[in-house]
Amino acid sequence: MTGKKSITIFGATGSVGGSTLSLIREHPDSFTPHALTAHRDYQGLAKLALEFKPAHAVIADEAFYTPLSEALAGTGIRVAAGAQALIDIAAQKVDLIVAAIVGVAGLAPVWKAVEAGQTIALANKEALVSAGHLIMPAARKSGANLLPIDSEHNAIFQCLRHESHEHIERIILTASGGPFREMTLAEMQQVTIEQALQHPNWSMGPKITIDSATMMNKGLELIEAAWLFDEGAKKLDAIIHPQSTLHGLVGFKDGSWLAHLGIADMRVPISYALGWPERLAWQAQPLDFSSALTLDFAPVDETKFPCFQLAKQVMAGVPEQAIILNAANEVAVAKFLNGDIGFCDIAGHVRATLEAGDYGIIADSFEAILALDREIRQR
């Protein structure tokens, strides 16, 4: 890579944020952190700011402005707080924005970054699920680049790098199946929060870990893929691949298939986005072909994973449905993590919210999307 890239990381204190910063730590001559943000963890943010010395440190929750300012007093790092401060940072031109806030909370900065024509390494899938119908046209208009760092989408993005759209026949995302892949539905009724938080292959933040256990994650990813790769539901699918070695596949009209393989480590897709359009060398653990490598595949059992089924239905519907699905899921996952509902109630909650039907809001603007999202949460 030539020259230093300026970089803003939304959600710097999270799992994706941490993996991103670990790569930046290894490449001090390649990146200049411009801004780091967090939700409430002002101590975690202050620690990162002291290490990486960005120009700005932004805390979303204004209640933590004072302690963050005190922790960074005398460093020259500018401290800001609140939702508008996040949006203002997203508008400041940098070489790369990493969008790694979890949930629809990350939508406003993504939207601003897209409008500003930035290059965005996108982890925040909920932003695309809720607003893909506006984000994709806005990105085309502003010239913003969206570089997916969700591992499956990054895999497909790499497979499609030198291909034209008209040749694509199928796009397939792989799914590990999560911790409950081999359980019966009856067994799944009994699972605890701790069990659901134990993903067999990936180490991730709590919300996506629960989404992986319900397989809502794969459903959200199908919707994400539909927007990113401009493909209808018919060409997109997901398959179970318990080893998480192969991340995404593309089938072409001439019968060829391209697939992306790699270790199950988010630094692989993140490093691709950090280096793009080149590749960033780092000490990635190589795939070991010296002993037998097994790649198993199986269809997703949709009756066992109703969240996946609900998301597939929504993918074929209107954008408002995806906003409802996503908001209801965020609420249900938070309730599950809080011990208020059981694991299998998550799907029931999402289904009931979808079936409650018309919320009287057409999601034809960014503000309308947030209004619909708020409406679902309030109910």
**Under the rule (CB under 6 A), what is the footprint of ligand NAD?**
11-17, 38-39, 41, 60, 100-102, 105, 123-126, 150, 202, 204-205, 207-208, 266
Closest residue to ligand NAD: CB criterion = 14
Q: Which helix H or strand E contains 231, and what residues bound it?
A: none
Residue 251 vs 323, nearer CB to ligand NAD: 323
Q: At what angle do helices 206-214 and 306-315 cross, to 10 degrees?
A: 90
Of ligand NAD, Mg ion, none, which one sits near residue 199, judging by CB under 5 to 8 A according to partner kind? none
Q: How far is the CB of 123 from Mg ion (least distance, A)?
A: 9
| Residue 128 backbone zone (phi > 0: left; psi -120 to 50: alpha; other: beta) | alpha
- Site of tokens 């590749």: 279
Residue 139 vs 208, nearer CB to ligand NAD: 208
Of Mg ion, ligand NAD, none, which one sits near residue 173, judging by CB under 5 to 8 A according to partner kind? none
Q: Is 139 helix (H, G, I), strand (E, B) or coil?
A: helix
| Cross-sheet strand order for the sheet of 168-175 | 257-261, 246-252, 168-175, 236-240, 298-299
Q: How far is the CB of 167 from ligand NAD (least distance, A)?
A: 27
The first and second tokens of residue 252, run together, are: 């072409």
Q: Is 218 helix (H, G, I), strand (E, B) or coil?
A: helix
Residue 251 vs 271, nearer CB to ligand NAD: 271
Structural contact between residues 41 and 13, judged by C-beta atoms closer than 8 angstroms: yes
Q: What does the alpha-carbon distance between residue 111 and residue 366 come to, in Å, rounded to a whole number?
A: 8
Of ligand NAD, Mg ion, none, which one sits near residue 11, judging by CB under 5 to 8 A according to partner kind? ligand NAD
Q: How far is the CB of 337 from ligand NAD (least distance, A)?
A: 11
Subset of residues 134 to 193 that bind Mg ion, contact rule: CB under 5 A: 150-152
Q: How far is the CB of 231 from Mg ion (least distance, A)?
A: 17
Residues near Mg ion (CB under 5 A): 150-152
